[in-house]
Structure 1
């Protein structure tokens, strides 16, 4: 099978980008996969992937971008063109009349009121059940995000990593449990809500990630006199190792598609508390969920997660995540959709 994947973002690496890197690399072991993406992502793909650099920082209305994309796809002559997320789907929708004998697949990664661009697809994949809203049932498919399993750290490695963090932040009480949040410090993640919810909880909060709100969030911590409880670790390339130090992993977002943080936490056997965002509500038990924006509800969900009995509630989820939320499962389900389209 000859497949073209299109990723039209141009800079950051979040869940959408990581999903695409993993999916494309995995598929390339079985099929001829061409990746059309911004040059900044070239090193994210293995040697089996045929990478084509396109400057997607240009507007989705840019006629030169549309022409370049159409010409490139016609040159490759794929059987499948798969557009990842909104901008890529809009671009493919505009050049679709020039792509003969090609099956189109689009993937919805986040909450969108207008899904018209995605409907150009012969099949539309959503990364959570909630995201299928507005998509005709005949076209809609659900494929959850998956990740590669992270090797478990030894006890000695965990202790060494924990000590290295505590050495940087000596004001933290090392005897307290660790509540961990991993994500961009941007409005959609609503870390301010989480900081409020942690008031009065006898645990430390480790915030892993960078973003435009860091300064205001640090000011909030000082204003609430939580400097001895909350620490900002910034961007960490070892975030998936850090998860293994957590007692509870928390999501306080206002919006999500299907958060990879949840996948990584469950695969690491970590209990969670979260707001009721897409994807999460399909997995976590009710007592560990809070309404979006609800400080008291999130505080109670965190308290529930810190209880020793919480692990029993999550035991089946840990096993299910290891079986279902993998890159291999994600790739095989996607390939079955392609094969079905080509047989139709």
Structure 2
């Protein structure tokens, strides 16, 4: 099977990008995979993936971008064109009339009111059940995001990493439990809500990630006199190791598609507390969920997660995540959708 993946973002690496890197790399072990993406992502793919560099920083209305994309796909002559997320779906929808004998697949990664661009797809994949809303049942498929298993740190490695963090943030009580959140410090992640929720909870808060709201969030911590409780770890490349030091992982977002943070936390056997965003509500038990934007609700969910029974409640989810939320499972389900389209 000859497959073209289109990723039309340009710069950041979030859940959408990581999903696409993993999917293309895994598919390339069995099929001929061509990746059309911004040059900044070139090194994210293995040598089997045929990488085609396109400047997607240009507007989705740019005629030269549309022409370049159409010409590239015509030149490759794939069986399947798979557009990842909104901009890619919109671009492919505009050049669809020029793509004869090609099956098109689109993937919805986040909450979108208008899904018309995705409907160009002969099949539309959603990364959570909630995201299938507005898609005809005949086209809709749910494929959860998966990640590669992360090797567990030894106790000695955990101690070294913990000592490094403790040394960096001496104001924190090193003997207290650690609540961790991982994400971009941007409005949609609502870290301000989480900081408020942590007031009165006897645990440290490690905030892993960076973004435009960092100065405002640091100021909030000072105003609430929480400097002895909250640490900003900034952008880290060892996030999946750091997760293994958490007692609880928290997601305070206002919107999500299917958060990779949840996948990674569950695979690392970490209990969670979260707002009721897409994907999360399909997995986590009610006692560990809060309404979006609800400070007291999130505080209650975090306290529940810090209690002893939480580990028992989550045990079945840890096993389920290791079985179902993997790159292999995600790839296999996606390939089955392709094969079904080609037989139709």
Same fold? TM cut 0.5: yes
Match of 2:188 in 1: 188
Q: What's the CA shift for 1:88?
A: 0.0
1:71-90 equivalence runs, <5 A: 71-90=71-90
Q: What's the CA shift for 1:184?
A: 0.2
| 2:137 corresponds to 1:137 | yes
Give SS of 1:180's match: strand
1:119-155 superposed Cα distances (whole Å, 9 cap, x missing partner) = 0000000000000000000000000000000000000
For 2:61 and 2:8, locate their aligned partners in 1 and report how far apart those are by CA, in whole Å: 13
For 2:168 and 2:323, locate their aligned partners in 1 and report how far apart those are by CA, in whole Å: 37
Match of 1:32 in 2: 32
For 1:172 and 1:293, locate their aligned partners in 2 and report how far apart those are by CA, in whole Å: 27
* TM-score after normalising by structure 1: 1.00
1:70-219 equivalence runs, <5 A: 70-219=70-219
Q: What's the CA shift for 1:272?
A: 0.1
Q: Which runs of 4+ in 1 moved over 6 A?
A: none
Q: What's the CA shift for 1:336?
A: 0.1
Q: What's the CA shift for 1:200?
A: 0.1
Match of 1:230 in 2: 230
For 1:24 and 1:336, locate their aligned partners in 2 and report how far apart those are by CA, in whole Å: 15
| Unmatched segments (≥5 aa) in structure 2 | none
1:282-334 superposed Cα distances (whole Å, 9 cap, x missing partner) = 00000000000000000000000000110000000000000000000000000
1:190-339 equivalence runs, <5 A: 190-339=190-339
Give SS of 2:178's match: strand
Q: What's the CA shift for 1:14?
A: 0.3
1:94-122 superposed Cα distances (whole Å, 9 cap, x missing partner) = 00000000000000000000000000000
Give SS of 2:64's match: helix
For 2:173 and 2:60, locate their aligned partners in 1 and report how far apart those are by CA, in whole Å: 50
For 1:320 and 1:156, locate their aligned partners in 2 and report how far apart those are by CA, in whole Å: 28
For 1:287 and 1:170, locate their aligned partners in 2 and report how far apart those are by CA, in whole Å: 33
The RMSD of aligned alpha carbons is 0.2
For 1:169 and 1:22, locate their aligned partners in 2 and report how far apart those are by CA, in whole Å: 34
Give SS of 2:34's match: strand
| Unmatched segments (≥5 aa) in structure 1 | none
Aligned length, in residue pairs: 344
Match of 2:4 in 1: 4
For 1:199 and 1:22, locate their aligned partners in 2 and report how far apart those are by CA, in whole Å: 38
For 1:282 and 1:168, locate their aligned partners in 2 and report how far apart those are by CA, in whole Å: 37
Q: What's the CA shift for 1:163?
A: 0.3
1:248-303 superposed Cα distances (whole Å, 9 cap, x missing partner) = 00000000000000000000000000000000000000000000000000000000
1:71-90 superposed Cα distances (whole Å, 9 cap, x missing partner) = 00000000000000000000
* TM-score after normalising by structure 2: 1.00
For 1:23 and 1:293, locate their aligned partners in 2 and report how far apart those are by CA, in whole Å: 33
For 2:291 and 2:169, locate their aligned partners in 1 and report how far apart those are by CA, in whole Å: 32
1:168-208 superposed Cα distances (whole Å, 9 cap, x missing partner) = 11111001000000000000000000000000000000000
Q: What's the CA shift for 1:93?
A: 0.1
1:25-83 superposed Cα distances (whole Å, 9 cap, x missing partner) = 00000000000000000000000000000000000000000000000000000000000
For 1:170 and 1:200, locate their aligned partners in 2 and report how far apart those are by CA, in whole Å: 20
For 1:69 and 1:40, locate their aligned partners in 2 and report how far apart those are by CA, in whole Å: 17
